[in-house]
Amino acid sequence: MAPRENSHEPGGTPVPVETGFATLATLRIGVKAFVEKDGEKRKAEILSMQTRRGKPTFYVHYEEFNKRLDEWISADRIDLSREVEWPAPEKPEKKKTTTNQKAQAPSKSDQRNQKKSRSKLDREVSATPEATSVNLPGKAPRPTKAGGKENKELLVTSEVTDGSTPKPDDEEMDLVDVQDAAAAAKAAPTEIYSREDEIEKLRTSGSMTQNQTEISRVRNLEKIQMGKFEIEPWYFSPYPIDFVDSEMVFICEYCLSYYGEVTQFERHRTKCTLLHPPGNEIYRDDYVSFFEIDGRRQRTWCRNLCLLSKLFLDHKTLYYDVDPFLFYCMCTRDEHGCHLVGYFSKEKESAEGYNVACILTLPQYQRKGFGKLLIAFSYELSKREGKLGSPEKPLSDLGLLGYRAYWQETIVDLLMEGKVEANIEDLGATTAMTTNDVLHTLQNLNMLRYNKNQHVIVLTDAVIEQRERQKAKEKIKGKRSIDPERLQWKPPIFSAASRTWNW
């Protein structure tokens, strides 16, 4: 995510970061302090603060750690013996007042609110009128309307400006109100700010963080219950705002409906008759089944799926509806039904030739080889279509590793069949991989070399050794792969009408 990149390393611009010692009372959102994480101190940015059971807690993002490791911490994990970095002020001369106000406001109001709303998000970023929005209302950049991108993190650069109307200290607001107000304030900043202030903000704001929608950076769900598992969400997902109060959100394993209360969920379970994803089974072997689901026909189910997967995918947008996508869902089967393990979505028509939009193995099934099966299946579909495919970018860290592993295995296996010669395009054609991905893989494995005035592909000893080890492992555990014979599928054809999003 671009905004965070900027926050990590303040670009090439040598903006002197103001540092200093802080007390618990002067800590505020945007402050970067050292926090104890797994036995070591890491620099972390405070993204949100609230009071739980009378004690202040902080939502922190560790620098150079993925956002999924962001967490709520108690104050005692913050190392106040070391200097903290103050957030870049909007205007240096006004900084004093900002700090002063900030120092008092949160603690005061939090103490008053501590019983009322346990999970109240104190989202006061800056109570000074200087903190203004970069964008005028209605000018927030929209994502491209044309592409069917599902994968892109939206750069809706709105910003937190609920400080514009200083909150009375004694006012108690419940969480919903605060968030609504925040959203409203972001979109429509009050007219207190002068034009100069806005321009100044536009010019000076080095960190995009301030322009980022703060709410969506903080995870909104504590925990979800699904099937046999309780899972900790990784990222924000726009489930109903009411669930912020819930300790646990219950998700039905089959219809993926969501409930904030166990009673409701149990009632639902007595009524729900779905036992597998609501589409056609297009692949079945003794291990998994694949179902194909049209976002247009199964709008509710696909929306539920997207909400769920957004909890674990950072670079996914639910900005637009599910209509232009097909969802390929992988399930394991038992007497209970078909348990959703993972899925990938695919544009009905991809302008860029992507064969996967979003891909996810649910966290409870990760590190079991399901990801590779999903990827293999996506390439199997591409082979059936007679096209080369590549996953939509950006990839997540886990996505990159998953794909690299699959690519390596596929290409090395192909080369080890005893070939004397190979060309990169042919390798791509047999595997339905794009030329670029083949090149990427070979290069990454240090297999492309220059020898005797020509380029050669080298099956390095390391690569061979790695593959042998893998094969040995497969012999013990059993190799899981996709059998093209079992795929009962023809590439679906969509008329122009069904590809559009008419309702």
Partner 1 sequence: MTQRVTGQRFRQRKLSTKQNLPVLREHEVEKLADDDAARHIPKVETGVEKGEEIEHHLQAVISASQAAASGGNVAQLYIPTPDAVASKLQYEDLYPRHFTQPATYIRFSSTVEDMVGCPYCMTSDDVIFLKSYNQKKGKTVQCSEDEFEEVMNFFEETSQTKQPFAAVDNPPVVSYEELEAEFDETISEPARRFARDIYNHWKNQRLLKGNRPLIPSLKFETNLETDDSDPYVCFRRREVRQVRKTRGRDAQVTEKLKKLRKELEEARYLMAQVKRREMVIRDQLAMDRQIFDQRTAVKEIKRKLGIKGDDEELLINQKPAPKPKPKVDVQAVQRGIPGMGPKPQLTRPDGRLLDSDLVYLEEQQAKRSEAIEGFIEENLMKHQKWNIGWVDQTWRPITPPLEQAAPKAGFRPVFTSSQLPTPPASESSEAAGDQMEADQPTKQVEPRRSARIRYATPPDDVPYQDQRRFRRRTGRGGRVMIDRRGVKRQKLDSIDERVADRFKYSGDSSEDEQVYPVDWTDNLHIRYRIMIDRQGDKQHAQAAAQNRRAIENHNRSASGYLLPPSNAG
Q: Out of 35, 47, 78, 231, which residue is the one contacting partner 1 (CB under 8 A)? A: 231
C-alpha distances out from residue 249 to 53, 234, 243, 300, 365, Å: 21, 14, 7, 18, 19
Q: Min. distance of Cβ 20 from partner 1 in angstroms?
A: 26
DSSP state of 46: E
Is 198 designated active site? no
How far is Cα 101 from Cα 124, in angstroms, rounded to an integer?
10
Q: Toward partner 1, which CB reaches closer, 173 or 448?
A: 448
Q: Where are the alpha helices (DSSP H) in 25-171?
A: 95-113
Binding mask 84-123 for partner 1 (x = CB under 8 A): ----------------------------------------
CA distance 229 to 223: 10
Q: Report if residue 20 touches partner 1, rule: CB under 8 A.
A: no
Q: What whole-number distance in Å separates Cα of residue 242 and Cα of residue 175?
A: 9
Looking at 55, 82, 108, 297, which residue binds partner 1 (CB under 8 A)? 297
Q: Could you say which residues in the range 256-285 bind partner 1, by CB under 8 A?
A: 257-269, 271-276, 278-282, 284
Give me the least distance between CB of 155 and partner 1, in Å please.
Answer: 11
Closest contact distance (angstroms) between CB of 106 and partner 1 is: 22
Q: Single out the residue of 196, 461, 485, 495 in contact with partner 1 (rule: CB under 8 A).
A: 461
Please identify, using beta-carbon distances, which residue of 191 and 421 lies nearer to partner 1. Answer: 421
Which residue has 């010019």 as its token pair?
A: 203
232 bridge partner residues: none
- Whichever of 18 and 245 has its CB closer to partner 1, that residue is 245
* Single residue of 440, 467, 480, 494 touching partner 1 by CB under 8 A: 440
Question: What tokens were used for 379?
Answer: 């390439």
List of residues 6+ apart from 372 with CB closer than 8 A: 402, 405, 406, 409, 480
Helix (H) or strand (E) holding 308: helix 299-310
- Cβ atoms of 29 and 9 within 8 Å: the answer is no
Q: Does 65 bind partner 1 (CB under 8 A)?
A: yes
- Report the nearest approach of partner 1 to the CB of residue 365 (Å): 9
Question: Is 190 one of the binding residues for partner 1 (CB under 8 A)?
Answer: no
Per CB under 8 A, the list member of 435, 467, 480, 481 interacting with partner 1 is: 435
Instruction: Determine contact, residues 197/126, Cβ cutoff 8 Å.
Output: no
Across 465-482, b (16+ Cβ under 10 Å) vs e yields eebeebeeeeeeeeeeeb
* Binding of residue 472 to partner 1 (CB under 8 A): no
For partner 1, give the closer residue by CB, 7 or 26: 7
206 versus 278: smaller Cβ distance to partner 1: 278
For helices 424-431 and 435-444, angle between their N-to-C axes, nearest 10 degrees: 110
Residues 302-341 within binding reach of partner 1 (CB under 8 A)? 303-304, 306-307, 315, 318-324, 333-338
Interface pick for partner 1 out of 34, 86, 193, 236 (rule CB under 8 A): 236
Minimal distance, residue 386 CB to partner 1, in Å? 19
- The catalytic position among 392, 409, 474, 485 is 392
Closest CB to partner 1 among 27 and 445?
445
Phi, psi dihedral angles at 137 (to 5 degrees): -60, 140
Our CB check for partner 1 shows the closer of 22 and 374 to be 374
Question: Position of tokens 């309702």?
Answer: 503
With binding defined as CB under 8 A, does residue 68 bind partner 1?
yes
The answer to the question of residue 450 lying near partner 1 (CB under 8 A) is yes
Contact partners, residue 286, CB within 8 Å, separation at least 6: none
Stretch 392-431: interaction string toward partner 1, x if CB under 8 A: -xxxxxxxxx--x----------x---xxxxxxx------
Kindly state the number of chain residues that form the binding site for partner 1, as judged by CB under 8 A.
153
Question: Per CB under 8 A, does 368 bind partner 1?
Answer: no
Instruction: Find all residues with CB under 8 Å of 345, minimum gap 6, and list them.
Output: 150, 295, 306, 325, 326, 327, 328, 356, 357, 358, 359
Q: Which two three-digit tokens encode residue 434?
A: 């794009």
Active site residues: 392
